[in-house]
Amino acid sequence: MLTTALTTSLSWSFTDLLDPTSHADNWLWALAVLLAAVVTGALLPVLPTGAVVSAMAALGHHRSWLSFGEVVVVGAAAAYVADLVLYTLLLRGAHTRAGRRLRRQAEAHGHLDELGERLARHDVGTLVTSRLLPGARIPVMAAAAATSYPVVRFAVANVVPAVCWALAYGALGLAGRGVSDKPWVSVVVAVGFGVLASGAVSLVRRWRAR
């Protein structure tokens, strides 16, 4: 009885969320989930956060352009905060176990010295590239930490990368929205676009690395 009631409740909640005319409280909860998902995925890179932003962007556009903008803003803010926390952790790598683990992970990719030089010359451009390329973000942050790149300067330079990342995956969400007028179809297509985009970039990077 309890399981049936819970399943029915979740089903109604999901249906309400997909309804462009649903109550604003449902949308606020969805934005809160987006915030948590992006922060978690940025700190623990196991969740395809870009695909999450794309799906929410498609759903948001079904509601209104304002809702789409809210998705981009929340996604960018979450990515920015998570990056700042992760970079601070890397700077303290000598004193924390988690920081040492992240630094070793980054060093395994090599080219830390080269990345450090790029940061010194073109910090914003390098951070934008690392944000958009799957697997590049942590090595670049580790290189910045290894060269004692100031956290205040990182906080300023990382605004543009976070916004660009949210806009890029938001655009994929708009592409999914253009496929169908049905919200759930748009969400599925947007997720597919997000996953395919990340996979394609990863394949290109591996091919160029050979």
Write the CA distances from 48 to 3, 199, 208, integer angstroms. 30, 10, 23
For 131, other C-beta atoms within 10 Å of its C-beta total 24
Residue type, 210: R
pLDDT for res 188: 77
Q: Give the pLDDT confidence of 140-166 residue by residue, as tens digits.
A: 888 788 777 889 999 999 999 999 999
pLDDT for res 18: 54
Q: Give the pLDDT confidence of 82-110 residue by residue, as tens digits.
A: 999 988 888 876 456 655 665 565 555 55
Q: Which of 59-63, 109-113, 141-145 has the lowest mean pLDDT?
A: 109-113
Within 48-182, where are the H helices? 49-63, 65-91, 97-107, 112-121, 123-132, 137-146, 151-157, 159-179
Residue 25 pLDDT > 70, yes or no?
A: no
